[in-house]
Amino acid sequence: MNIEQTLKDAEQLLAPWCKETFHPEVNRLDVAIQVDDLRAAVGALLAARWGYLSAVTGTDLGIEVGQLEALYHFCNGPAITSLRIHLPRESDACLPSIADIIPSASFFERELQEMLGFAFSGSKVSERLFLPDDWPEKVYPLRADFSIEQAAPVAGRRADELPEQGVVGGNTFVIPIGPQHPALKEPGHFEFTVDGEIVTAAKMRLGYAHRGIEKAAESRNWIQNLYLFERICGICSHTHAMAYSLGVEKLAQVEAPPRAQAIRELIAGLERVHSHLLWLGVAAHEAGFDTLFMYSWRDRETVMNLLEQITGNRVNYSANVLGGVKCDIGAEQAKAVKEGLTYLETRIRHYLEVVTTDAMFLNRTRGIGTISRDEAEKFGLLGPTARASGLSRDVRLEAPYGAYHHFPVSLVMETNGDLEARCVVRLKELLVSCFTMRTIVDNLPEGPLTTRMPRKIPAGETVSRIEAPRGELFYYIKSKGGENPARVHIRTPSLCNWVSVLEKAVGHQLADVPMLIAGMDPCFSCNDRVVTVNRPSTNETWSWKQLREYGIEFYKR
CATH of the domain at 33: 3.30.460.80
Helices 237-252 and 222-229, packing angle to 10 deg:
160
Torsion (CA) 124, 128, 133, 136 in degrees, nearest 10: -100
Indicate the pLDDT class of residue 538, thresholds 50, 70 and 90. very low
User: Does a structural domain hold residue 542?
Assistant: no
Q: Are 129 and 46 found together in one domain?
A: yes
Q: What is the pLDDT of residue 307?
A: 94
pLDDT of residue 555: 33
Confidence of residue 556 (pLDDT cuts 50, 70, 90): very low
Is residue 199 situated within a structural domain?
A: no
- pLDDT at 546 (0 to 100): 43
On whether both 362 and 473 belong to a single domain, the answer is yes
Comparing 281 with 184, the larger pLDDT belongs to 281
Q: Is 195 part of any domain?
A: no
Of 460 and 550, which is predicted with more confidence?
460
Query: What range defines the domain where residue 337 resides?
Result: 213-527
Contact 479, 457 (CB under 8 A): yes
Over range 158-185, report the average pLDDT. Answer: 65
* Residue with the larger pLDDT of the pair 469 and 529: 469
- Which residue type occupies 473? L
Residues 6+ apart with CB under 8 A from 338: 438, 441
Do 104 and 244 lie in a common domain? no
**463 and 386 belong to one structural domain:** yes
123/96 Cα distance (integer angstroms)? 8
Q: 299 or 132: which carries more pLDDT confidence? A: 299
Please tell me the predicted confidence (pLDDT) of residue 136: 87
Would you say residue 194 lies in a domain? no
Answer whether residue 78 is part of any domain.
Answer: yes
Q: Domains in the chain: how many in total?
A: 2
Which of the 8 DSSP states describes residue 220? S
* Chosen domain end from 130, 151, 172: 151
Q: Is residue 180 part of a domain?
A: no
DSSP classification of residue 492 = -
CATH classification of the domain holding 379: 1.10.645.10
Specify the pLDDT at position 545.
42
* pLDDT at res. 232: 87
Compute the residue count for the chain: 557
Same domain, yes or no: 388 and 470: yes
**223/302 same-domain check:** yes
Same domain (yes/no): 347, 473: yes
Asked which of 110, 126, 151 is the last residue of a domain, the reply is 151
Same domain, 359 and 248: yes
Q: What is the DSSP letter of 405?
A: G
Q: Are residues 245 and 137 in the same domain?
A: no
For residues 265 and 394, membership in a common domain is answered with yes
Q: What pTM was estimated for this model as a whole? A: 0.90
Q: Which of 104, 131, 151 represents a domain boundary (last residue)?
A: 151
pLDDT of residue 231: 87
pLDDT class for 536, splitting at 50, 70, 90?
Answer: very low
Q: Is residue 511 part of a domain?
A: yes
The residue-averaged pLDDT of 472-483 equals 95
Within-domain flag for 131: yes
State whether residue 29 is helix, strand or coil. Answer: strand
3-state SS record for 238-293:
HHHHHHHHHHHHHHHCCCCCHHHHHHHHHHHHHHHHHHHHHHHHHHHHHCCCHHHH
Which of the four pLDDT bands, split at 50, 70 and 90, describes residue 359? Answer: very high
Same-domain status, 348 and 488 = yes
Q: Which of 102, 101, 109, 63 is nearest to 85 (CA)?
A: 109
Domain identity same for 145 and 257: no
Whether the predicted pLDDT of 174 surpasses 90: no
